[in-house]
Amino acid sequence: MLGHPAKTLLGVAALASMTAALGLLGAYLPVLQVAIPVILGVVVRRAGLVAGAGAWAGALTLLFFMLRVSWPFLLVVETGLPGLLLGLLFKNHVPGGRALATIVGTSVAVAAACLTVAWRAGLWFVPPAAVPAALEPLVDFVPGGEARVWVGYLWEAARLLGPANFLLWAVVVAVAAYFILYRLFRSLGLPAGEPVVWRYLYLPWYVVWLPILGLSLTLAGDQWRWPVVAAVGKNVLYLSVWPFLAVGSAVVAYYFQTLRGQRALRFLLLAAVVFYWPFALVVCILIGALDPVCNWRRLCEGRGEKDRWR
């Protein structure tokens, strides 16, 4: 791709076509969306930002002329920008923790913008409150009269938390692309910056304001009968659970690693997580919510463990 200009243009056109095809397929198979930032990240890392941006812009042009503003178009926008940024971060050898934080923030911002465009363009719609006929067979699997009630609760939760799940999936795609690119570049012998160690994952202290904001919006919406404000607050509350769960699991992994010589304690901890997983999830969320303030891993600093990301 770095040779003759004609070959460069041909390569960019081929990559644009591939990216557009992945955008079309990714609208039906969401797992394929991970391939878009991976391909663009590799192009930026090996051929430069101009080639990567050209492939991304070419894919958007193809999709726009074929489908106008549609979900495949927005999916390429949502996953392409983080892919370009990933290529730049790896090319400049940015440390893993800083790169991961940057890509997560960027993916959330871009996904929120795409969600707004989809709503304004009429692509994002709120499904009807009634349980669709496609879910009626689920009622037959659960005996008793409460099955329909539970299916209704699940459907209502899916309707309410759709925007939050859209943003969450964007973060999952970006993080998965980061780790895939890191492994790929390391296997090719290219420098990829400082690796991310999960047990040293931290959140800044001001993240604790996220659930406070969500709870405030929820209470205000319920008190003054603002359904949109209440729905936004519930989505913010739902989103705040996942970073706390990630940090809580990192704290558990940290102490599990420090207990290398205590096989009995490690076995008990693993058994508690496996057999009492609902309670373990709640404990991990609480640990992650308090970690930005308490810094649980500081308790083991005397054992020679170092604070990697503080």
- Give me the percent of the chain exceeding a pLDDT of 90: 54
Contacts of 152 (CB under 8 A, 6+ apart): 131
How do residues 40-97 score in pLDDT, each as one tens digit? 999 999 888 999 999 999 999 999 999 888 899 999 999 999 999 999 999 998 988 8
Query: Comparing 145 with 190, which gets the higher pLDDT?
Result: 190
Going by pLDDT thresholds of 50, 70 and 90, the confidence category of residue 255 is confident
What is the distance between the alpha carbons of residues 93 and 91, in angstroms, rounded to a whole number?
Answer: 6
Helix axes 71-91, 5-26, angle to 10 degrees: 130
* Residue 144, phi-psi category: left (phi > 0), alpha (psi -120 to 50), beta (remainder): left
pLDDT digits (tens, 9 = 90+) for 126-180: 666 655 665 666 666 655 556 667 777 777 888 889 899 999 999 999 999 999 9
pLDDT (0 to 100) of residue 309: 45
Rounded alpha-carbon distances, angstroms, from residue 68 to 33, 60, 62, 71, 73? 19, 10, 9, 9, 8
Please give the CATH topology (third level) of the domain spanning 1-196. Answer: Arp2/3 complex 21 kDa subunit ARPC3 (1.10.1760)
Q: What is the 3-state secondary structure (H, E, C) of 56-125?
A: HHHHHHHHHHHHCCCHHHHHHHHHHHHHHHHHHHHHCCCCHHHHHHHHHHHHHHHHHHHHHHHHHCCCCC
CATH 1.10.1760 placement within the chain: 1-196
Length of the chain: 310
pLDDT (mean) for 281-291 = 92
pLDDT digits (tens, 9 = 90+) for 103-140: 999 999 999 999 999 988 888 766 666 556 656 666 66
Closest CA to 39 of 67, 58, 62: 58
Dist. CA 218–CA 282, nearest whole Å: 21
Give the per-residue pLDDT at 165. 94
